[in-house]
Amino acid sequence: MTGCPTALEAARRIADGSLTSEALVRACLDRIGEREPLVQAWQHLDMDAALNMARHLDQFGSGPLKGIPIGIKDIIDTADVPTGYGSPLYETFRPPRDAACVALARHAGALILGKTVTTEFAYFQPGKTRNPHNPDRTPGGSSSGSAAAVASGMVPLAFGTQTAGSVIRPASFCGCAGYKPTFGLIDRTGVRPFADSLDTVGVFATTIEDAAFFASIIAGRPNLRIANDVFRPRIGLTRSHAWEAAEPATATALDEAAARLRAAGLEVCEVALPERWRGLLAAQKTIMAFEAARSHAPEMLTVSDRLSVKLRELLKDGALIAPDDYDAAKALVAEARAGFSDVLDGLDVLLTPSAPGEAPEGLGATGDPVFNRIWTALGVPCISVPGLTGPTGMPVGVQVVGRWGDDRRALAASAAIGQSLS
């Protein structure tokens, strides 16, 4: 899909004067005018304000993201526009301050184009967004609007968050790059908590290079940017313990990816995850439900009738989990974290499915994060690399997973893998 240029291209051209923010934002708004009636990616968008801000940044802006529009998942606080958390409870909420990641983006010159649709509190109750490749299919969630907006060329960059699979899955379903960094890499202040030991701020972009560029600026880690030198990652292909959930679309995509990578001369070997890791999927669910029941106690104990049935059920279940079971789940995660480097012995990254298959039909659910939960629990960097398609022509991403804190290598490997796929 076409639309606005890549963020790196836009940044280069704004810096050399061959592009203005106003022209860039106008192109984005034109694209939004065409596609938004169908896609419904935006929760809040003020076109006039965006153009005024673009003109302002053209005159007074500075920084590596000068004049580049970005979308903000509506689970993330913004001081100048409403922040609704995807819940009727917060329809009128105006936070006193930007979230840290938003403030840092503004400081880098970025233009906050608007708020993108989130599921309710970033859990499973969908918003209005549709998949830009087929309006009868889900865009995935919970970062539904950010993924759909970027994938349909409405905006080059957007923030999302992931607690189970809320960045990687919608990126795969919508066909863009999604990057969930190592836990804690991007500060969470001003991001509505769901499960404290899992919640991670991530980014969407049309290319891996753009995702790395954006995250490098927000995290203040210049070395995340993809270098021009050739990196030939050693790749471990793992079907993981969730493989029975893989549909033919994903099985074929993973085989296809491995074949193309080998054809490009890259080393791809099969990796079996430790048997003990079978318990990580349930452990992630236990941790998420236990923590969510506590973090949402203020709503659950006072206004539970205004929560969706899906969320209420999770919070009820989470409140019933015995602390010993939660502690055991955390202990298993800690053990697996400690053993992660052994699993990757001699390899740079793992290659594994982003999602069970193409985006499911229907808009009543956002798909299954079964291929994402364990990596989020482990806190390791994950990237959904676009480029492949399934049997009906819908996008199918493949997921690259790196070591804790080794985001630079995971991103560089993802860029190399992406080049082989496209």
> Which residue's CB is nearer to a copy of itself, number 299 or number 358?
299
CA–CA dist 399, 253 (Å, integer): 11
Q: Which is nearer to a copy of itself, 359 or 377 (CB)?
A: 377
Rounded Cα gap, residues 76 and 405, in angstroms = 24
Q: How far is the CB of 89 from a copy of itself (least distance, A)?
A: 8
**267 phi, psi to nearest 5 deg:** -80, 120
Helices (H), 17-167: 21-39, 47-60, 100-107, 144-151
Q: What is the smallest separation between the CB atom of 21 and a copy of itself, expressed in angstroms?
A: 19
The smaller minimum CB distance to a copy of itself, of residues 37 and 298, is found at 298
What residues pair up with 362 in beta bridges, in sequence order? 137
In the complex with a copy of itself, the residue whose CB is nearer, 79 or 282, is 79
User: From the candidates 21, 66, 73, 285, which is the catalytic residue?
Assistant: 73
Residue 73 among the catalytic residues: yes
Cβ proximity to a copy of itself, 299 vs 348, nearer residue? 299
Residues 6 or more apart in contact with residue 319 via CB below 8 angstroms: 293, 300
**Minimum distance from CB of 159 to a copy of itself (Å)?**
14
Active-site position among 21, 66, 115, 142: 142
ω into residue 142 within 30 of 0, thus cis?
A: yes
The nearest distance, CB 301 to a copy of itself, in angstroms, is 5
The distance of closest approach from Cβ of residue 200 to a copy of itself in the complex, given in angstroms and rounded to an integer, is 11
Active site residue 128: no
Q: Which of 143, 146, 152, 166 is catalytic?
A: 166
Taking the least distance from each CB to a copy of itself, the nearer of 87 and 372 is: 87
Distance of CA 394 to the CA centre of its chain: 18
Q: Give me the helices (H) in 222-279, please.
A: 248-263
Active site residue 166: yes
Q: Which residues bind a copy of itself (CB under 8 A)?
A: 79, 90, 93, 96-100, 102-104, 106-107, 184, 187-190, 193, 196-197, 219-221, 223, 291, 294-299, 301-302, 319, 323, 327, 330, 338, 405
What does the block give as tokens for 129? 């967004």
The rounded distance, in Å, linking the Cα atoms of 25 and 392 is 33
Minimal distance in Å, beta carbon 118 to a copy of itself? 17
Instruction: Give residues with Cβ within 8 angstroms of 322, minimum separation 6.
Output: none
Rounded Cα gap, residues 188 and 61, in angstroms: 25
Rama region for 142: left / alpha / beta (φ>0; ψ in -120 to 50; rest) = alpha
- Tell me the three state secondary structure of residue 389: strand
Instruction: Write out the catalytic residue numbers.
Output: 73, 142, 166
